[in-house]
C-alpha cells in the first residue's frame, strides 16, 4: 500500500513541496541551520496550526528532518543548493504549480478526446499554450524561468556533445528565451545563430540575447515554424524541447523543413526528454507526459527514442545517432546528418 498511498495523495505531496518553496522554509533552514518550531513559525509569519501542518508534511516527506526539538533541511536539499541546481528545482516547482497543475485535472478527458482539453484552464483563445502566454504575463514569466532552468539542467551535455567546430550557421527552432542558443554561442565563438520564435515571444527572446551581449551573433526571426519557410544554408538545425509538443506527423513535417534548410553534411539535433523504447519508463518521462497530453498543444508526449528516429528517417535523414544524457532528468540528444548526395 505504500506506493499506492503515495500515488493516491501525490497531489498533496506536491502541495507540501510547493508551499515549502513559496514560504521559504527550506531556504530558511539551509541558511540558519536547525531551528525550533517556534522560531520557524515566527520567521515565516505563520500561525501555530499552520506551521505544524507545514512541518508535519515536510518532515514526513523527507524535505526536513526533526532532530531533538529542532528541524533541519534534508541533506538532498542542502546538496542541491551547494551544487547550484536548487533554483532550477524551485523554478520547476513554480511551473508545475502555476502552469501545469490545473490543466492536468483534464487528463482523462484529454486521453478520451485525444486532445489537450486542459488548455481551457489558461485564459485566451489562441490555439496553443505558447500563443496564450503573452496575454498572461505572470504565467509567461513563470514559464520562461522554468524553461531556462529545465534547459540548464541538461544543456551542458548538448554543448559538449555537439561538435560545431566547422559549423557557421545554426537555426534554433522555437528557441524560447534563447537559453540553448546562448550556451552554444558562448561555446562556439564563430557560430551565427538564428532563433525562430513566434511573434508574440520574439521581443522577449531578443531582449534576453541583448542582455547577454550576444546580439551580434544571435538573431531572432519572428515567425511560425509550421507556416513560414526556414532560412536556408544552415549547418545545424536545433529542436530543443520542441518535438515533445507536437504529433509525430507534425514533427516529421518540421524535420522535412529542417532537411531542406540544411547544407549537405549538415545536422539536425533533437534535444528533449525521451522515454525508452520498451514503453515502461523512465518514471519522470511518464509523469511529464501528462502535461504534454493535457495542456500545451493538441498532441504531444515524451516520445520513445524510436519515434523520433522514425520521423527523422521519414524526413530523409539516414545517419542517426543517440546520445543519452546522464542525470535525473530523462534528457536525450539525437543527432542526424543530411548525407551529401
Q: What are phi and psi of 243, to 5 degrees?
A: -85, 10
Nearer to ligand SAM, 77 or 196 (CB): 196
CB of 133 to ligand SAM, least distance (A): 7
Among the residues of 134-275, which ranges form H helices? 137-152, 155-161, 179-187, 199-211, 248-261
Based on the shown chain and the rule CB under 6 A, indicate whether residue 240 belongs to the binding site for ligand SAM.
yes
Based on the shown chain and the rule CB under 6 A, indicate whether residue 249 belongs to the binding site for ligand SAM.
no
Based on the shown chain and the rule CB under 6 A, indicate whether residue 151 belongs to the binding site for ligand SAM.
yes
Q: Which residues of 305-328 are buried (b: 16+ CB within 10 A; e: fewer)?
A: bebbbbbbeebbbeebeebebeee
Based on the shown chain and the rule CB under 6 A, indicate whether residue 242 belongs to the binding site for ligand SAM.
yes
Nearer to ligand SAM, 224 or 277 (CB): 224
28, 30, 99, 147: which one binds ligand SAM (CB under 6 A): 147
Q: Residue 267 is placed in which grid cell?
A: 545536422
Nearer to ligand SAM, 28 or 195 (CB): 195
Site string for ligand SAM, 106-145 (x = CB under 6 A): ------------------------x---------------
Based on the shown chain and the rule CB under 6 A, indicate whether residue 196 belongs to the binding site for ligand SAM.
yes
Strand spans (E) along the chain: 35-36, 64-67, 70-73, 169-173, 192-197, 218-222, 234-240, 262-273, 319-324, 331-337
Based on the shown chain and the rule CB under 6 A, indicate whether residue 226 belongs to the binding site for ligand SAM.
yes
Footprint (CB under 6 A) of ligand SAM, residues 152-191: 174-176, 179-180
SS3 5: helix
Count residues binding ligand SAM (CB under 6 A): 18
Nearer to ligand SAM, 40 or 170 (CB): 170
- Calculate Rg over the CA atoms of the chain: 22
Footprint (CB under 6 A) of ligand SAM, residues 22-61: none
Chain residues that interact with ligand SAM, rule: CB under 6 A: 130, 147, 151, 174-176, 179-180, 196-198, 201, 224-226, 240-242
Amino acid at each position: 500500500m505504500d506506493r499506492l498511498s503515495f500515488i493516491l495523495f501525490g497531489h498533496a505531496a506536491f502541495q507540501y513541496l510547493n508551499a515549502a518553496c513559496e514560504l521559504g522554509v527550506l531556504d530558511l533552514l539551509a541558511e540558519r541551520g536547525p531551528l525550533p518550531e517556534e522560531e520557524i513559525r515566527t520567521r515565516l509569519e505563520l500561525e501555530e496550526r499552520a506551521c505544524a501542518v507545514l512541518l508535519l508534511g515536510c518532515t514526513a516527506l523527507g524535505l526536513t528532518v526533526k532532530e531533538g526539538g529542532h528541524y533541519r533541511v534534508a541533506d538532498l536539499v542542502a546538496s542541491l543548493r551547494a551544487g547550484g541546481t536548487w533554483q532550477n528545482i524551485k523554478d520547476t516547482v513554480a511551473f508545475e504549480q502555476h502552469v501545469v497543475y490545473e490543466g492536468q485535472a483534464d487528463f482523462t478527458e484529454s486521453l478520451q478526446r485525444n486532445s489537450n482539453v486542459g488548455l481551457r484552464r489558461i485564459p485566451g483563445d489562441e490555439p496553443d499554450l505558447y500563443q496564450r502566454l503573452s496575454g498572461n504575463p505572470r504565467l509567461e514569466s513563470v514559464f520562461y524561468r522554468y524553461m531556462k532552468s529545465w534547459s540548464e539542467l541538461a544543456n551542458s551535455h548538448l554543448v559538449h556533445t555537439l561538435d560545431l567546430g566547422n559549423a557557421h550557421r545554426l537555426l534554433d527552432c522555437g528557441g524560447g528565451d534563447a537559453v540553448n542558443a546562448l550556451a552554444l554561442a558562448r561555446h562556439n565563438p564563430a557560430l551565427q545563430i538564428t532563433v525562430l520564435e513566434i511573434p508574440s515571444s520574439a521581443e522577449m527572446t531578443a531582449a534576453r540575447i541583448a542582455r547577454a551581449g550576444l546580439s551580434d551573433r544571435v538573431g531572432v526571426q519572428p515567425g511560425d515554424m509550421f507556416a513560414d519557410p526556414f532560412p536556408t544554408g544552415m549547418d545545424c538545425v536545433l529542436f530543443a524541447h520542441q518535438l515533445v509538443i507536437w504529433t509525430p506527423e507534425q514533427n516529421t513535417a518540421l524535420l522535412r523543413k529542417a532537411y531542406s534548410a540544411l547544407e549537405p553534411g549538415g545536422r539536425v539535433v533533437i534535444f528533449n526528454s525521451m522515454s525508452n523504447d520498451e514503453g515502461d519508463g523512465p518514471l519522470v518521462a511518464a509523469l511529464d507526459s501528462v502535461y504534454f497530453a493535457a495542456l500545451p498543444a493538441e498532441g504531444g508526449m515524451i516520445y520513445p527514442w524510436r519515434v523520433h528516429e522514425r520521423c527523422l528517417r521519414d524526413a530523409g535523414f539516414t545517419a542517426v545517432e543517440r546520445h543519452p544524457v546522464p542525470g535525473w532528468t530523462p534528457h536525450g540528444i539525437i543527432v542526424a546528418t543530411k548525407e551529401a548526395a
